[in-house]
Amino acid sequence: MMQDLKKCLRTKLIELNIFTLRDIGSDVDRITAKRFGQWATRLYVILFISALTILIFYTIIRPHILTKNFDEPSFIFYNHLRKTYGDEL
């Protein structure tokens, strides 16, 4: 059962083509156009997944700026914050 599912999924992924024959052009025969479409689909999927991965990592890695408001902090607390964060305060 699992072997059949793996084989079917592999076949579908190999034969995947999101481009029509019209997208390739009329001066190319059908078999070549099908192959071009399959290669273009593979390239499209790889680029899409790569871009999505880069965006996800950028979102995770980029520093988050935290802003807190302190209503009337004491002078000691202010000096502590100034000593800890310096010009970023």
Nearest to 17 by CA among 45, 38, 47, 48: 38
Q: Express as a percent the part of the chain with pLDDT over 90.
A: 29
Residue 49 has pLDDT above 80, yes or no: yes
Highest mean pLDDT among 8-12, 51-55, 70-74: 51-55
Q: pLDDT tens digits for 5-48?
A: 999 988 888 888 888 877 777 777 888 888 888 999 999 999 99
Q: In terms of Cα–Cα distance, which of 53, 51, 52, 25 is closest to 37? A: 25
* pLDDT for residue 89: 64
